[in-house]
Amino acid sequence: MSDIRLIAALGSSYAAGPGIPPVDDPAAMRSSRNYAHLLADHLDARLVDLSVSGATTDNILRTDQISPTGARFGPQIDRLPADADVVTVTAGGNDLQYIGFMLAAAWRQHAPASQIAMLVAGMVSDPVPDPTNDDIERTADGLAEVVDAVRERAPRARIVLVDYLTAITDRTVAGHDVPFSAADLTKAQRIQAALHDAHLLARNRSGAKLLSASSLSEAHALGDPAPWVFGFFTDLNRVGASFHPNAEGMAAVAEGLRELLG
């Protein structure tokens, strides 16, 4: 029998799992079949899932987050149970405007004059800059600060940073696998690489464990035979799930965590 009785999950949409039924919390765009739920089910553990789509490291640590539906979520760390045995953290993508950029790039190609294209474009910088070393350092610092805050609040928890599943590779074809221009595809790859680097730095600085979901999924990007992320959705009910983990991706992350935790 596992000694893991309580799992807590912090993070953004790559933890929450938008677009994967059934829905756990519509306002948070959170699935009850995301990797934390799957892991808890496998270990017969309780779960406190605090992940919210769109969250930054700052939303985990100190600032409220307002969802597209108008729901308000306080800092995730404030609700972290002190007796958690395991805490997973997936964040940083929104700090680097990763998915926001991909959505804006896709809609710019698909329907540039549409209301949804203008709405998505308004949620990110114009233009979204290429990530600099300072951006990577800042994101890594945010992740390491989350780890420190978890240690303070749940001192006996095993903390695992979980980075982002690989969405695009050199095999991903602009205009075929994703509705991006070639330049936007290249920029998305640079942001994705920066996010990976930020997690490596955060692991080294914080001493937390790292599950490299990006490495696990290297052969399962968009354009591969069995991608672990969704493609681009134009259905307004599923737009927010575009380029996010699908059920197979979440299952792979849960299995990776199970192996890492022993």
Average of per-residue pLDDT across 32-51: 99
Is the residue at 203 inside a domain?
yes
Which pLDDT belongs to residue 2? Answer: 78
pLDDT surpasses 70 at 1: no
Interval 202-211: pLDDT, tens: 999 999 999 9
Q: What is the pLDDT of residue 236?
A: 87
**Centroid of chain to Cα 51:** 9
The number of domains in the chain is 1
pLDDT at 179 over 60: yes
Q: Which structural domain range is residue 216 located in?
A: 6-261
127-170, pLDDT tens digit by residue? 899 999 999 999 999 999 999 999 999 999 999 999 999 999 99
Tell me if 136 is assigned to some domain. Answer: yes
Looking at every residue in the chain, the average pLDDT score rounds to: 97
> What confidence score (pLDDT) does residue 190 get?
98
Whose structure tokens read 């739920």? 37
Average pLDDT score over residue span 17-27 = 98
Q: Does a structural domain hold residue 215?
A: yes
Task: Tell me which amino acid residue 260 is.
Answer: L
In a domain, 1, yes or no: no
Per-residue model confidence (pLDDT) at position 68: 81
Residues sharing a CB contact under 8 Å with residue 83, sequence separation 6 or more, in sequence order: 6, 154, 156
Residue 235's Cβ-count burial label (10 Å; 0-12, 13-18, 19+) is exposed
Side chain identity at residue 230, one-letter code: F
In the chain, where does DSSP find H-type helix?
13-16, 35-43, 57-61, 98-110, 115-121, 133-153, 182-206, 213-216, 247-261
Q: Which residue has the higher pLDDT, 209 or 113?
A: 209
Let me know: does 4 contact 261? Beta carbons within 8 Å: yes
Report DSSP state, residue 240: G
**CATH number, position 242:** 3.40.50.1110
Distance, CA of 58 to CA of 164 (rounded, Å): 18
Residues 6+ apart with CB under 8 A from 240: 13, 18, 19, 29, 53, 68
The answer as to whether 207 is a domain residue is yes
Is the model's pLDDT at 214 over the cut of 90? Answer: yes
Let me know if residue 46 belongs to a domain.
Answer: yes
- Tell me if 79 is assigned to some domain: yes
**Nearest residue to 60 via CA among 75, 50, 46, 49:** 75
